[in-house]
């Protein structure tokens, strides 16, 4: 078997509709197979979850599988995804599992795993787990399932130790997406002295990400503009990403927050190398980093690929335009709350509206529906057109054309000095894709 090929695991664990694709039976099988793959005599496995109504069911099923394979399942309840990584490392556990579908609607759910260092499992390990799904036997001596108390307090202590800030007098609005940050985010900002107002902090099992959070940041932007708050942060459902809003209601994406952190860390001599981003990062980000003397490495889309490249290069900072921001000095995965506190640290007393770490170029994205997205690889006329447009934008912008990973779409993205030029280039390329593949 090719150990890198996976059918269940995607770029962020096993995810799908709860009860149909992600059933209790599959969760139990995943718990058993994953625990069986560990070399520990009696594996200690942490489980955290977000606020979806299917969470307790899948948590129980996953715990049953862990115990059946001879491990101890430690249930920490609702906590942000990065808390699982931090607690696994802090408590010396063998594994941490997160029951969450991140920014997806409430009907979906997922399961992802972190090793004892707080790092997401690699492709080969996930492939090995898949191979054991139908083969892992039950242990002669089953393990235990028990509640782990104090997980939130431990996570808050780690945040306060990592970000010893004085936010007295700062007025902050937090959109917790009715998800996993609804307790932790307000608690740490208040503990650091900020005056905190929240929205999306009343989860009912079905309202996670519903018209709120980082996937609907317009709700926060409107609220900040009409409130006394000077800054706002919007988290996603599991708390591993964040976007920011300044006092006027303007949204600042992951590129801008990473650029802000990179400039500050570079100035203090803390960066150690450069920064890792994905192919989706704005061309203006690259221009700003060049001006600041910061090296940039680029990966395919997905925070796991950013993390892998950071580890390979031994760099400390990386992330995605969508708001996954990783500062490995704190935790080796995206942490929305830590990224928000990083932003506050870099701003000092200045308002976010005054911070201009980069100038974004206008970006136009078109999704072209095609019969076979994989056929784009052999579409010579399309790639010749792409090369012509790249040449015309060299030093002024960029072109990105790639197939969707899951849908029959080819995504065409263009950045240029003006929106008009970006739209014109994008439409020419989209037309060529339609002509060749539609």
Assess whether pLDDT exceeds 70 at residue 3. no
pLDDT of residue 137: 84
Span 154-251 CATH architecture:
3-Layer(aba) Sandwich (3.40)
Confidence band (pLDDT; 50, 70, 90) for 104? very high
Assess whether pLDDT exceeds 90 at residue 407. no
Helix (H) or strand (E) holding 388: helix 380-393
Lowest-confidence range among 1-10, 234-243, 397-406?
1-10
Q: Mean pLDDT throughout 345-374?
A: 93
For 107, what's the count of Cα atoms within 13 Å in the CB-facing half-sphere?
Answer: 3
Residues with a catalytic annotation lie at: 102
Kindly report, as residue ranges, where domains of CATH 3.30.310.50 are found in the chain.
Answer: 363-437
pLDDT of residue 1: 34
Confidence band (pLDDT; 50, 70, 90) for 136? confident
Confidence band (pLDDT; 50, 70, 90) for 374? confident
Assess whether pLDDT exceeds 60 at residue 4. no
pLDDT of residue 135: 85
Edge-to-edge strands, sheet with 296-299: 296-299, 275-278, 317-319, 325-327
pLDDT of residue 368: 94
CA distances from residue 389 to 234, 377, 413, 417, 426 in whole angstroms, order as listed? 36, 18, 12, 14, 9
Confidence band (pLDDT; 50, 70, 90) for 260? very high
For residue 279, which phi and psi values (nearest 5 degrees)?
Answer: -65, -15
The CATH number that domain 14-149 falls under is 3.40.120.10
Confidence band (pLDDT; 50, 70, 90) for 207? very high
pLDDT of residue 5: 64
pLDDT of residue 29: 97
Confidence band (pLDDT; 50, 70, 90) for 301? confident
Q: Mean pLDDT throughout 286-306?
A: 94
Tokens 């080796």 sit on residue? 332
Fold held by 363-437: TATA-Binding Protein (3.30.310)
Assess whether pLDDT exceeds 50 at residue 2. no
Q: Where are the beta strands (DSSP E) in 131-246?
A: 145-147, 171-175, 195-199, 231-235, 242-246
Return the bridge partners of 232, or none.
173, 245
Tell me the pLDDT of the chain averaged across its residues: 95
Q: Mean pLDDT throughout 277-304?
A: 94
Of 18, 94, 92, residue with least CA distance to 49: 18
The CATH number corresponding to 253-333 among 3.40.120.10, 3.20.20.100, 3.20.20.190, 3.40.50.300 equals 3.40.120.10
pLDDT digit string, tens, across residues 137-180:
888 899 999 999 999 999 999 999 999 999 999 999 999 999 99
| Residue 99 or 138, more confident | 99
pLDDT of residue 12: 85
The helix-helix angle for 336-347 and 254-267 (nearest 10°) equals 50
Confidence band (pLDDT; 50, 70, 90) for 215? very high
Contact partners, residue 406, CB within 8 Å, separation at least 6: none
Assess whether pLDDT exceeds 70 at residue 220. yes
Kindly report, as residue ranges, where domains of CATH 3.40.120.10 are found in the chain.
Answer: 14-149, 154-251, 253-333
Q: Mean pLDDT throughout 395-413?
A: 89
CA distances from residue 109 to 57, 317, 331 in whole angstroms, order as listed? 11, 29, 24
Contact partners, residue 394, CB within 8 Å, separation at least 6: none
């Amino acid at each position: 078997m090719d150990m890198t090929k996976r059918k269940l695991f995607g770029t962020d664990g096993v995810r799908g509709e709860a009860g149909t694709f992600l059933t209790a039976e599959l969760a139990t099988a995943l718990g058993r197979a994953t625990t069986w793959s560990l070399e520990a005599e009696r594996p200690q496995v942490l489980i955290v979850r977000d606020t979806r109504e299917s969470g307790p069911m899948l948590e129980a099923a996953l715990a049953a599988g862990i115990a059946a394979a001879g491990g101890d399942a430690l249930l920490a309840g609702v906590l942000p995804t990065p808390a699982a990584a931090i607690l696994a490392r802090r408590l010396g556990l063998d594994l941490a599992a997160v029951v969450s579908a991140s920014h997806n609607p409430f009907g979906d759910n997922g399961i992802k795993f972190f090793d004892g260092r707080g790092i997401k499992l690699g492709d080969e390990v996930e492939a090995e787990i898949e191979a054991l799904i139908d083969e892992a036997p039950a242990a002669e001596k089953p393990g235990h399932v028990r509640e782990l108390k104090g997980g939130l307090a431990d996570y808050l202590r780690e945040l306060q130790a990592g970000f010893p800030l004085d936010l007295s007098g700062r007025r902050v609005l937090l959109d917790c997406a009715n998800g996993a940050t609804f307790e932790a985010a307000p608690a740490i900002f208040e503990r650091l002295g900020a005056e905190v107002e929240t929205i999306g902090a009343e989860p009912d099992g079905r309202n996670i990400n519903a018209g709120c959070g980082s996937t609907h940041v317009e709700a926060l932007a409107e609220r900040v503009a009409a409130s006394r708050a000077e800054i706002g942060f919007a988290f996603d459902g599991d708390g591993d990403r964040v976007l920011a809003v300044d006092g006027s209601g303007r949204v600042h994406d992951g590129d801008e927050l990473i650029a802000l952190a990179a400039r500050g860390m570079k100035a203090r001599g803390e960066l150690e190398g450069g920064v890792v981003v994905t192919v989706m990062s704005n061309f203006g980000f690259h221009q700003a980093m060049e001006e600041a003397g910061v090296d940039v490495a680029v990966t395919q889309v997905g925070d796991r690929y950013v993390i892998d490249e950071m580890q390979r290069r031994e760099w400390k900072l990386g992330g995605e335009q969508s708001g996954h921001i990783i500062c490995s000095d704190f935790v080796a995965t995206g942490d929305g709350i830590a990224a928000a506190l990083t932003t506050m640290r870099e701003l000092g007393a200045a308002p976010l509206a005054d911070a201009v770490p980069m100038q974004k170029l206008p970006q136009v994205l078109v999704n072209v529906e095609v019969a076979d997205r994989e056929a784009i690889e052999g579409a010579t006329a399309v790639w010749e057109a792409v090369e012509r447009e790249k040449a015309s934008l060299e030093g002024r912008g960029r072109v990105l054309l790639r197939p969707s990973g899951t849908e029959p779409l080819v995504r065409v993205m263009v950045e240029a000095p003006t929106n008009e030029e970006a739209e014109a280039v994008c439409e020419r390329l989209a037309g060529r894709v339609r002509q060749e593949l539609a």
